[in-house]
Amino acid sequence: MHAKYRQKANFMPVETKNIVEEIQGNSTLVDLPTKPNGKKLYLESYGCAMNFSDSEIVASILTKEGFTTTYNPQEADLILINTCSIRDKAEQTVRNKLKEFKGIKRKFNPKMKVGILGCMAERLKTQLLEEEKLVDLIAGPDSYRALPELIQEIESGQKAVNVLLSRDETYADISPVKLGANGVSSFISITRGCDNMCSFCVVPFTRGRERSRDPETIVQEARDLFEMGFREVTLLGQNVDSYRWNISKKGEIKDENKSTVSFAELMVMVAEVDPLLRVRFSTSHPKDMTTDVLHAIKKYKNICNYIHLPVQSGNSEMLKRMNRGYTREWYLNRINAIKTITPECTISTDLIIGFCDETDQEHQDTISLVKEVEFSFAYMYKYSERPKTLAERKFEDNVPEKVKADRLSEIIDIQRKNQKKTNDSFIGHTKEVLIEGPSKKDPNEFCGRISENTMVIFPNQGFKAGQYVNVKIISANSATLKGEAAV
């Protein structure tokens, strides 16, 4: 018996969702041997790429238990929602989803069980059981190995909770079921957790202490993916630059008999799996990004010319309140290093608008930084206060909602112009595109990304997903490029 899976993965954005689907007739799917237990699992993920990657681990663990997956919650025996807590809105989305599942359970399968995984599970713990009567199971991000036992418990009619955070869980030995998107690009987790304590951020509370995964298992996963036909991997961590193997936080070697691996070295190890395997990474942290990473990008054609470097704010006082560990000048110095060593790199960012006590001048400083750097893309968010964070305890969420909204739309406007300008600069150039599949809008067209991460749409001339094609860029808007294959 074989089960087939696909996961629609979105790259960065939070508050997007993906659903594990059963589909037919796609040659890029992975066949998984299972002994089915007759139970169907519906798994839905919200939040960042790390959550999407974790859902692949969950699917792997439960497939081994005999579950098959379904895209239809109405026929599910078990519904699992992998959740995000980064902003209040992300949590509200999940709560609304639970209302929907309550109706489905009542109507289609009163025996259906519902579990909450991920960051909301970790943040709210048993409180969730009290607030959401529908929920049977709560499992935090480090307790997915315990899912089989937790499921056994709920099947006997109890509620089950495991929210223990670990100092060393990396799921290194579990080969994730590549629910894997389009069969072309995939995520590989390299670190878990975060030790940074930015004052606005809930992640250190939901994901625990930072730990790095054994480099051998990372490279092996990249090799396996390449053999399965994947042509792009994104190395994932909350702060990839702090990846380190066999080196303590203070820089001391832990075991003299073993080699050490830094993030730049890891990237090179993955790049050397095959020149046809593109390597991306996310997220870099401005306080930790070193120039050896830039030299690796410069040296290896298959390490992509793209860096996501979240700045959050353009004002040094504000960055101090955010506890980001760098100033505006430091950030601009990093940008300068990127533009000098790897001038072909595009740079994207994250911005928080309307953080505590944000003055008009501080907002203007963010605008001037956005104008100066000319980011190729930006995720822009209104500040959302999160319980237990430093900001919640120390500062007041005192920028009025209307001011947050006005400042956000002002920045979005400026950023849209930046994107148009970056995209226009590709017009007339021939760029190598890795084909991801048919374009969503028109199946007669293909879509794929250039090394700089911009999406290109071009006519389907009998190419296949996973193929590299040189495309001459003809036109651009602020989001995508259009071109024609240069054959």
- Tokens for 138? 């709560």
d(CA 453, CA 435): 12
Of the pair 6, 285, the CB lying nearest ligand SAH is at 285
**7-16 in b/e burial notation, b at 16+ Cβ within 10 A?**
bebebeebbb
7 lines the binding site for ligand SAH (CB under 6 A):
no
Interface map 291-310 toward ligand F3S (x if CB under 6 A)? --------------------
Examine residue 226 and tell whether it contacts ligand SAH (CB under 6 A): no
Neighbours of 191 (CB within 10 A): 23
Tokens 């299972």: give the residue. Answer: 34
Of 128-136, 205-213, 380-388, 401-409: span binding ligand SAH (CB under 6 A) = 380-388
Nearer Cβ to ligand F3S (15/274):
15
DSSP 356-383: TT--HHHHHHHHHHHHHHT-SEEEEEE-
Kindly tell me which of 135 and 203 has the beta carbon lying closer to ligand SF4: 203
Contacts with ligand SF4 in 268-297 (CB under 6 A)?
Answer: 285
C-alpha 394/C-alpha 380 separation (Å) is 24
Nearer to ligand F3S, 120 or 434 (CB): 120
For position 236 contacting ligand F3S by CB under 6 A, the verdict is no
Amino acid at 164: L
The two beta strands, 346-353 and 113-117, are unpaired
- Does 193 help bind ligand SF4 (rule: CB under 6 A)? no
Answer for which of 162, 238, 418, 454 binds ligand SAH (CB under 6 A) is: 238
Of 199-207, 225-233, 419-427, 476-484, the segment contacting ligand F3S by CB under 6 A is: 199-207
CA-CA distance, 159 to 156, in Å (whole number)? 9
**Measured from the CB atom, is 162 or 238 closer to ligand SF4?**
238
Residue from the set 201, 225, 347, 457 that interacts with ligand SF4 by CB under 6 A: 201
Q: Rounded to the nearest whole angstrom, what is the least distance from the CB of residue 350 to ligand SF4 in the complex? A: 8
Determine if 239 is a binding residue for ligand SAH (CB under 6 A). yes
The residue at minimum Cβ distance from ligand F3S is 47
Which CB, 60 or 189, lies closer to ligand SAH? 189
H helices of 114-262, where? Answer: 118-124, 127-131, 147-155, 203-207, 215-227
Residue 101: partners with Cβ closer than 8 Å, 6 or more residues away: 73, 79, 112, 114, 134
Q: What share of the chain is helix, strand, coil (3-state, %, to 5)?
A: 35, 25, 40
119 binds, among ligand SF4, ligand SAH, ligand F3S, none (CB under 5 to 8 A by kind): ligand F3S
**Calpha distance 313→70 (Å, rounded):** 42
* CA proximity to 459, closest of 449, 451, 471, 450: 471
Does 198 sit near ligand SF4 (CB under 6 A)?
yes
Min. distance of Cβ 91 from ligand SAH in angstroms? 11
203 binds ligand SF4 (CB under 6 A): yes
Residues that bind ligand F3S (CB under 6 A): 14, 47-48, 50-51, 84-86, 118-119, 202-203, 206-207
* Sites of contact with ligand SF4 (CB under 6 A): 194, 196-198, 201, 203-204, 238-239, 285
